[in-house]
Structure 1
Amino acid sequence: MSAAPKANPPIRTLLGPGPSPVSPRVLAALALPVVGHLDPKFLEIMDQSMAMLREVFQTKNRLALPMSGTGSAGMETCFVNLVEPGDAVLVGVNGVFGTRMVDVAQRCGAQVDTVEAEWGTALDAQKFKDALGKKQYKVAAVVHAETSTGVLQPLDDIAEMVRESGALLMVDTVTSLGGAPVRVDELGIDACYSGTQKCLGCPPGLSPVTFSERAVEVIRKRKTKVQSWYLDLSMIEKYWSSERIYHHTAPISMNYALHEALRIVLEEGLEKAWQRHRQVHETFVREMRKLELEPAVAESIRAPMINTVKVPEGVDDPKVRQRLYDDFDIEIGAGLGPLKGKTRR
């Protein structure tokens, strides 16, 4: 068999839900010389990345590191390490990624209950409180910015209720990290995961996670092995700690890229980054309305980093998106699930 032609991907303007455009600085970092995963200089980069992740997550947690894999690997990391067969888990579902949480928790053997809301709306805090009062849950999980709908879930009330119930609070910040405050310590979030390809402006490939000491203690007291060897934090943390015990070969170049992406975020400043996303979002909505297009989400719960727009009646949305591809090299996303054909992202 002869070699395939050289890869020649087009230069697109990425305006969809992800991946996002990548800074030339981050692309240059990907081309830095590859060293071994235990090279002293690489270990320095690892330590610096952990310190920067703590700042972006707004936490002092000791355990804050990038897992090898995309955001879904971060989701699985949180569930497989905290959940054992038979554990009770409560999940808020108002979009694709709440649904995925349910699936992942069930694969861990959890007994899963849900609090559901119509896609495009926020979870109701009172319904969450009512559910928490029915049994003792080990974990309660919600999505902060639901990528499939464009909803930014208010967390304060739910976080307080979960804390009072004694359950561990898990939050998906794949889309929100770097684009809105996540306040891990202030809210008492016990397990939080994200992705590199959204507001961090990095290619997909790593999933930043952070765990509270309470969550770490739960992992240490497990009665069964973690379901996944690859995602077992009891071993992975020994590689990222001063012990430097080999677990798996870290994706060296992606760690370079994340390191540079975090530097860019912190050079700008978190608050300025959040403000920039909010200002761009507000400008987008204002200009969109001039074209007689409307947001699909109520103003009070719109995620500033993911804009969901109603598809006008009678418009062939796939045809519109294909023309943007073909004629303008612009990528936008389609609606998912019950919003397919009704929204674009």
Structure 2
Amino acid sequence: MEHYDPRKLPDMPELMIAGPGELHEEDLDVLGHQVIAHYGDLWTQLHNDCIAALGKLLGASDAPYVIPGTGTTCLDAAVFNLFEAGQRVVVANTGFFGNRLMEVATAHGLEVVEIPVEAGAPIDAAAIGAAAEGADGVLTVHVETATGVRHPIEDIASAARAAGALYLVDGIASVGGELCDVDAMG
């Protein structure tokens, strides 16, 4: 019986999607090495190095907090820890993942103000700012996976800040592929 070898797959089309993505040969070789323990000095150093590199990638002077789990797990944790039931949030519904943000917010008992966004169009930061007056938060995706549209998070952050609302960005499909400067956005 022949064993599965991901390096010997038939030619596959190149997919320009959020995932799954193709790995480089060097990465496949590294993945073939023995795993290290998830504790001890070596693991601690690797973890700290990764957190520092992620902070640089995000333009965040404060160390990021890594949550092991799915994207929805991270969104649940962020919404649950940043808002209390009954608070009002503005959510740009940009498609599948914009809708997911609305579902997460609703599941946590938040009052959701939906701002529909036409498929393939960017979020209108001025519309978000107007809707955010008196709201506790604004929730958007950075890049909606299905359309590939990069939304103007810098302008949205400015509009949310001017309205006195906390801004939460779902960067699952964009971090590492799109510039993001958390400190500059405030």
Query: Shorter chain as normaliser: what TM range?
Result: 0.7 to 0.9
Q: Does 1:140 align with 2:138?
A: yes
Q: Which runs of 5+ in 1 are unaligned?
A: 189-345
Equivalent residues of 2:90, 2:135 under 8 A apart? no
- The one-letter code sitting in structure 1 at the alignment partner of 2:99 is T
- The alpha carbon displacement at 1:144 in A equals 1.2
**Which entry has the higher C-alpha Rg, 1 or 2?**
1
Q: Which runs of 5+ in 2 are unaligned?
A: none
Q: Does 1:164 align with 2:165?
A: no
Closer, same or farther: CA 14–73 of 1 in aligned 2, 3 Å = farther
Question: Which residue pairs with 2:66 in the alignment?
Answer: 66
Equivalent residues of 1:49, 1:65 under 8 A apart? no
Identity of aligned residues (%): 30
Q: Which has the higher contact order (CA 8 A, sep 6+)?
A: 1
**Which segments of structure 1 move beyond 3 Å, counting only runs of 4 or more?**
5-11
Q: Does 1:173 align with 2:156?
A: no
Distance 1:169 1:59 in 2: 15
Distance 1:67 1:32 in 2: 24
- The alpha carbon displacement at 1:7 in A equals 4.6
- The one-letter code sitting in structure 2 at the alignment partner of 1:143 is V
Q: Secondary structure at the match of 2:66?
A: strand
Question: Which residue pairs with 1:47 in the alignment?
Answer: 48
Q: Does 1:126 align with 2:140?
A: no
Distance 2:150 2:45 in 1: 35
Distance 2:172 2:153 in 1: 15
Closer, same or farther: CA 180–70 of 1 in aligned 2, 3 Å = same
Out of 149-158 and 48-57, give the one that drifted further. 149-158
TM-score, structure 1 as length reference = 0.49
Question: Which residue pairs with 1:21 in the alignment?
Answer: 22
Give the paired residue count: 182
Q: Does 1:35 align with 2:15?
A: no
- Residues 212-251 of structure 1: pairs in structure 2 closer than 5 A: none
- Residues 78-157 of structure 1: pairs in structure 2 closer than 5 A: 78-133=78-133, 135-137=134-136, 139-157=137-155
- The alpha carbon displacement at 1:170 in A equals 0.8
Equivalent residues of 1:160, 1:187 under 8 A apart? yes
Q: Secondary structure at the match of 1:171?
A: strand
C-alpha RMSD over aligned residues = 2.1
Question: Which residue pairs with 1:333 in the alignment?
Answer: none
- The alpha carbon displacement at 1:143 in A equals 1.1
